[in-house]
Copies of this chain bind each other. A is one copy, B any other.
Amino acid sequence: MPTMQQATVGVAGLGSMGGGMAGALLRAGLRVRGVDANPARAADLAKNGLIATATPAQAARDADALLISVVDAGQTQAVLFGAGGAVETLRAGAVVIATSTVPPPFVEALEGRLREHGILLIDAPVSGGTSKAATGELSIMASGDPAAFSAAAPVLDAIAAKVYRLGDRAGIGSRMKSVNQLLAGVHIAAGCEAIAYAIRLGVEPAEAYDVITHSAGNSWMFENRIPHVLENDYTPRSAVNIFVKDLGIVLDQGRVDKFPLPLTAAAHQLFLAAAGMGMGGDDDASIARVFAALSGIKLPQ
């Protein structure tokens, strides 16, 4: 890869995560070609210097690295191998950086398939949400060929505050991410169960929030998500459907591995209920609204 100032990066997927990362790449002085199913997103980022393209193949043309930030494994597959897919144009030695949360077996198979084209892969799921994506301060749970890390260093430096190097092959990064998502999903569900129950018990919910965030019951997710409940604001910062998918990945892998996951399973049922109630696109703190429906409590209005 050329030096950072000369490097060209394709970005496929310019939603709240991918758009944030593209912005961080531009600020770092990289040449960025971007594509999204919604052309308005690329047009919007063009104001900041992004070169808007119409297909992943166009975004990947001349690129030293292709960063993929899409919803799931199916979209990752389509970006690379679908019509107008990036493998049509990616040069040998280029690095694909796959940041979406996907089943570990998918990314393991992907590594071999890309290698047939001479393309390197970093299994690079991220943590930190849209705010850290926007500031270029994500955590990356990464694994892959050391040559890929060397080549992609300017890209990773631009988007991440911390890159965890977890192994020399794809899959470990996604496995680590699935452990994080297990906890994140369970903690959102538990936080909503707890704040709803506090209301049922007659504890003032803002007071409960203050006490819990200074006590042993605290979690990153409780602290981050319960304010949405207190403010009655379910605008999606991260949607229910994300955890319908991510806990589904964890539970699917648990079936393969014959590993029981009782808390994950209970939490997943609550995300399914929220989606079933029509709140799949709403903020994941909507689990509190599932508890309200199940119990008759009144949430803060």
Contacts and interface: CB of A to CB of B under 8 A. Distances in A.
A198 to B, nearest CB: 5
A175 B203 CA distance: 7
Given A187-B217, A216-B127, A182 B211 contact: no
A104 interface: yes
Interface stretch (A28-36, A115-123, A253-261): A253-261
Contact of A193 (B176, B257, B262): B262
Nearest to A201: B175
Nearest to A258: B295
Q: How large is the interface on A (under 10, 10 to 19, 20 to 34, 35 or more residues)?
A: 35 or more
A182 B220 contact: no
Contacts of A37: none
Contact of A216 (B129, B178, B210, B263): B129
Contacts of A218: 183, 219-220
Contact of A197 (B179, B191, B214, B294): B179
A179 B212 CA distance: 8
25 contacts: A128-B216, A139-B215, A141-B215, A164-B207, A166-B207, A172-B202, A175-B198, A175-B201, A175-B202, A176-B203, A179-B198, A180-B216, A180-B217, A181-B217, A182-B194, A182-B197, A187-B190, A201-B253, A216-B221, A218-B220, A259-B295, A260-B295, A262-B269, A263-B263, A263-B266
3 tightest A-B CB contacts, nearest first: A183-B217, A219-B219, A180-B217
Interface of A: 104, 127-129, 139, 141, 162, 164, 166, 172, 175-176, 178-184, 186-187, 189-191, 193-198, 200-204, 207-208, 210-212, 214-222, 224, 250, 253-254, 257-267, 269-270, 291, 294-295, 297
